[in-house]
Amino acid sequence: MLYLSLFISFFKVGLLGFGGGMAIISLIQNEVLRHGWMTETEFVDIVAISQVTPGPIGMNCATYVGYTATGSVWGSMVTSFAIVLPSLIIMLTICAIYDKLSKRWSENKVYQAVMRLIRIGVVVLIAHAAWTLITPATFTDMRSWVIFGAVLLCMLLPEAARVLKRPEWAKNKAVRVLSHPVFLMVLAGAAGYMMYS
Amino acid sequence: MLLRLFWTYLKIGTFTLGGGYAMLPLIQHEIVDKQHLIDEKEFVNMIALAQAAPGLIAVNSAIFIGHRIAGWRGVAATVCGAVLPSIVIILLIAVFFRQLKHIAAVEAVFKGLRPAVVALIAAAVIKMARNI
């Protein structure tokens, strides 16, 4: 029964996961917390690990949740397969009609309107996910907020360059390193080690 | 050919840190520039499709390229190559993490990581909201 609900949950995540990594993480979070497969803190730890290990973040997260929820490698197999299955069905359909597909499909007005609605939905979803992860267990004291602020600031450096109409800043090597998620995670881990141990 | 596709994707899956978007330049380097399996224009189309479809962008692009080059056998080769490193590495970590978690130093590192993860998600919200 656990395996079946894992399969259904991750199939849903694969099917509704528009917009890449963070959208998929938010959907997984929603399923995981709803079913009580793990706590907010455990989930955040998994996202942290998924971020600094090789491979697609959604896949890392799915594999990890599958193992933790069942305590068995088969749980991972089920979640990884379930998250990829909708992609297989949809992408193979697209491939089959690819040559007949109008090369200007992305300029279609209806298509653009639908994608815009989906994007709005995805943003709301991720915002909600971020909000629910701010708990006393994940933000233990003021230092947590300092790390949060610093990482957010660094991540938004390329955006700031665009707002200030200085796109060349975003290409600057220092800015690119400073706004790289993996680099920031390593830095945050080091900061945690120095502050709390 | 299938072995080469599998091997190429295995390499890409093992050496990209930071998720699907980090994989795209590597895919471009291997599949377009070095092995000339698809051309630049098709690669750009592929990215557009992989992003528009639901699911993991890295997996979507692996399916497209595998199918273009060698049909469904190609899909099996690229998808397995792309996800295998993830599954193996994460399982190894998952098995050992439960024991490591109780070490004070590990807990301290994660105390620093947790707000950083929430910040990454919040940054994604702001970036995406700007592009609606």
What's the pLDDT tens digit per position in A44-53?
999 999 988 8
Please report the residues numbered 57 through 86 in chain B whose beta carbons come closer than 8 angstroms to any beta carbon of chain A: 57-60, 63-64, 67-68, 72, 75, 79, 82-83, 85-86
Q: Using a CB–CB cutoff of 8 Å, tell me whether A117 touches chain B.
A: no
pLDDT of residue A102: 62
Same domain assignment for residues B75 and B105: no
Q: Do A87 and B63 touch (CB under 8 A)?
A: yes
Q: What is the DSSP letter of A54?
A: B
Q: Which residues of A touch B60 (CB under 8 A)?
A: 87, 91
Nearest-by-CA chain B residue for A102: B45
B46-65: b (≥16 Cβ within 10 Å) or e: bbebbbbbbbbbbbbbbbbb
Question: Cβ–Cβ of A53/B118 closer than 8 Å?
Answer: no
B39 and B9 in a single domain? The answer is: yes
What does the domain layout of chain A look like in residue ranges? 1-102
Q: Which is it for the CA torsion A5, A44, A25, A62, positive or negative?
A: negative
Contact A27, A42 (CB under 8 A): no
Residue B86 and residue B109 share a domain: no
- Indicate if B55 and B81 belong to the same structural domain: yes
- B71 has pLDDT over 80: yes
The domain total for chain B is 2
Which domain, by its residues, includes B111? 101-132
Of A76, A86, A95, the CB nearest to B54: A86
- Same domain? B38 vs B86: yes
Do B125 and B68 belong to one domain? Answer: no
Over residues A127-145, the pLDDT tens digits come to 988 898 999 989 999 999 9
Query: What is the percent of chain B where pLDDT is above 70?
Result: 98
CB A159 within 8 A of CB B127: yes
